[in-house]
Amino acid sequence: MKAVTVESIPHYINGEKVEGKSNRYGAVYSPSTGQKIATVAYATKEEVDETVRLAKKAQIEWAKTSVGKRVQVLHKFRQLLVEHTEEMAQLIGKENGKTISDAKGEISRGIESVDLAIGAPHLIKGEHSVNVGGDINSYSMKQPLGVVTCISPFNFPVMVPLAMSTMAVAVGNAMILKPSEKVPCSALFISELWEKAGLPSGVWNVVNGDKDTVDAIITHPDIEAISFVGSTKVAEIIYETGTKHHKRVNAFGGGKNHMVIMPDADIDKAVDSFIGAAYGAASQRCMAISVAMPVGEKTARVFTEKLKAKVENLKVGTYDDEHADFGAVISAEAKQSILQSIDDAVKEGANILVDGRNPEVENNEGFYLGPTLLDHVTPEMNMYKEEVFGPARIIVNVDTIEEAIHLINDHQYGNGVTVFTNSGSHARKFTQEIEVGMVGVNVPIPIPVGYHNFGGWKGSRYGEGQMFGPDTARFFTKTKTVSERWFDLDDKDSETNFDFPSS
């Protein structure tokens, strides 16, 4: 096999690439080849402390910068993202394994968050009331929190960091990003674009690391807010630890997203929609459809037959294979976990309709799994209860829309859900009664556009912040309310009043 040059990925601190000082390193692998492509240093507590110190200093001046000048930097940053889309897509494919076309879609969605942040002047406007009583005017202002941090996952190396961080920078905070140690290259590339855009040194920083690094971040007294995306188990720990240390936290976890197919739905459209939403990016999306839930025996029979035929024809391949529908999973450990979930489901009574456990791939040393489809799955099985972050999808049959709603509402996750129907009454009933944060009607992946709020319910999110949309401006700012009165210089009367003030 051809030898691969192994890079050393530095941190990005105070406008400079900084080599790690710890003796702890992680290996970065290309999922498509299984080869090691980089090493990344894990930051120590001392390195985190120094980064926070420098970010805090830079934030003071950045907050004083007019919002108009901040937006000028964002405009340039957006332009650079567009200009370097091809380069970033190749980088994402190399370290994440997703196809180039999928990577470009990710970048495009990330740019939506920049578009929203460019509108920060509107989103951080305060309120003003004249003469609320006693010649007093009241007004409010939105001010940045200070130093904030984002801890991002491996599955969206560009989109999620942009969605989590751009508004924070736009409203005057300094940012410390801790990317997944599996995909550090994309974060470094984003840092270089911020530098080219003219962002002052120290406002944007990247520290790489593992759990020890994260612990240093989420307990640091000078970090004001944490935004996290990852597994539900870790999200809960981040939320509990961060809030215990008096931080504002939003922590987004996993999902088990259902697609309900009603008897009146266009079955062909439902099948095509399920295919892309379920298996795209090797199913490594928190908003991927995990469960097909056809309503009624006839719907189940027709849907399953058509779905099986199409799943069998899906192709898994390298990230740069133009004919591949999706690529490898992120690691050998992830592959083994997915295989174990499939095996356990079969032992519990599930039936494999399409078996992707041993796909034929030209480069079979990568972390490949083909599309797998199981039916005869029941809500009691672990395959239904737990999130499976890989291309193994399931069918759960129900008799009525009421049964579908009950099962979905009873699930521990509440990230996304969709219903396929041509009935307005069914759609209305579903959208009103379902207990899930993001709902689609004839939309396969109900992830909102960048100017609408993103966030699941139940075990899919801890905290009240959002990742997309105007709530990001609220999450990364604090409100100060001022009541002011100016005395008439000719008025010499003065008196003391012990009554509680009122209008």
What 3-state class would DSSP assign to 178?
Answer: strand
> Distance between CA 189 and CA 198 in Å, rounded?
15
- Tell me the C-alpha to C-alpha distance, in Å, between residue 68 and each of 56, 75, 121, 147: 21, 11, 7, 21
Active site residue 185: no
Whether 370 and 402 have beta carbons less than 8 Å apart is answered as: no
Could you say which of 286, 292, 353, 398 is catalytic?
A: 286
> What's the chain's length in residues?
503
CA angle 98, 230, 242 (to 5 degrees): 150
What 3-state class would DSSP assign to 187?
Answer: helix
Rg of the chain on CA atoms, in Å:
25
Whether 170 and 472 have beta carbons less than 8 Å apart is answered as: no
Q: Residue 330 corresponds to which tokens in the numbers above?
A: 């992120």
Q: What is the DSSP string of 66-105?
A: -HHHHHHHHHHHHHHHHHTHHHHHHHHHHHH---HHHHHH
Largest CA distance in the chain: 91
- Tell me the C-alpha to C-alpha distance, in Å, between residue 445 and each of 15, 25, 470: 37, 36, 21
What 3-state class would DSSP assign to 127?
Answer: coil
Q: Residue 21 corresponds to which tokens in the numbers above?
A: 């000082």
Residues carrying an active site annotation = 286
